[in-house]
Amino acid sequence: MSHLDDPARPAPPLGMLAELTHRCPLQCPYCSNPLELTRKRDELDTATWQRVFAEAAELGVLQVHLSGGEPALRQDLEALVASCAEQGLYSNLITAGVNIDRARLEALAEAGLDHVQLSVQGATAPINDHIANQPGAFDKKLAFAREVADVGLPLTLNSVIHRANLHQIPELVELALDLGARRLEIAHAQYYGWALENRGALMPPREQVMEALALVEAARERLEGKLVIDAVVPDYYARLPKPCMNGWGRQSLNVTPAGRVLPCHAAETIPGLTFLNVREHGLGEIWYDSSAFNAYRGTAWMPDTCQSCERREIDWGGCRCQALALTGEASQMDPVCERSPYHDEIQTLAIVDSKRDDDFTYRRFSRQSA
């Protein structure tokens, strides 16, 4: 019986995040990758990734996000892009843009790359390079973005927003326009992985967040039809949870550099779940039948308050990883929800945890993982 014949069976995923490596030339304090990074020697090889892409296409995936770390540190990136193209998968390269020259960009385009998503840490060199802890990174990003446009690939600019760069939202909008980007993503830092270690130096106070949202809305109205602006607000200041990943195991999956398959980027923080690996299991088997993917699917797992809520099939209970990080229990109500007993407590975290804006703990990479 296929999922089409069984209404209790989940629909196939639409998107897949392929985390090709954890290696990265930048040291961003908001990095959401896990505290324990996968070393180069433990990364999936080319043939295994190519098999995974074939299985993803067969499963129903339409779009693959090639991510990291920095995916361009993989010497086989062109072959992986070509494999996506062969399988009919739309490929989006998520990159820092500091180590891809014109020749390699042209090779990626020739291999079938569909889209480039460039991260910027600020709208000016001093802010960008300080946050990335990489002198000269901003100028390299600008040069790369212009090469992307020249090669003819569509460009999205992505900036993770926090206290150190929140004031630059208007400049980021102008930068996106200047570089010919079709889309700008303004994503407030989400506090998982290394970002949780730096929460006190990253989280802005509520009034700054509200000002930033007003700036984004004004820019959206002014530039409608010219630049798409997506915004992700910081969960801690919300009244209602968002449908994290559009619901656990409902529309997307992540494959880590070592081959473990996750319902979301931070799912490995949740104890008691077993995440199957593509080295030993097929992607379809993992999506439909693994205990980890089925753990928080649907509504049966929810606490009573969530079970009786009219939003239970809108937000799907919110974020399990956030519930764990803030309450100690992944099955708790997402504390972002105003009905959660933890809701008032998280509203004060920006004040309680506050550090200087530039008091970052940078992520360092060992020689073994580099």
Query: Is residue 84 annotated as involved in ligand binding?
Result: no
Burial class (CB in 10 A: 0-12, 13-18, 19+), 154: middle
Q: Which two tokens stand for residue 259?
A: 């081959």
* Distance from C-alpha of 45 to C-alpha of 49, rounded to nearest angstrom: 6
Q: Which two tokens stand for residue 279?
A: 């080295």
Query: Is residue 264 annotated as involved in ligand binding?
Result: no
Query: Is residue 28 annotated as involved in ligand binding?
Result: yes
**Cβ atoms within 10 Å of 192's Cβ, excluding its own:** 23
Give me the sheet containing 183-188, strands edge to edge: 228-232, 183-188, 155-161, 115-119, 90-95, 63-67, 15-19, 252-255, 261-262
Q: Tell me what percent of the chain is helix, strand and coil, each rounded to the nearest 5.
A: 40, 15, 50
187: helix, strand or coil: strand
Report yes or no: 195 and 30 within 8 Å, Cβ to Cβ. yes
* Distance from C-alpha of 292 to C-alpha of 340, rounded to nearest angstrom: 25
DSSP for 126-191, written as a single string: HHHHHHHT-TTHHHHHHHHHHHHHHHT--EEEEEEE-TTTGGGHHHHHHHHHHTT-SEEEEEE---
- Phi and psi dihedrals of 343, rounded to 5? -60, -50
Q: Which residues belong to the annotated binding site? A: 24, 28, 31
Q: Which residues belong to the annotated binding site for [4Fe-4S] cluster? A: 24, 28, 31
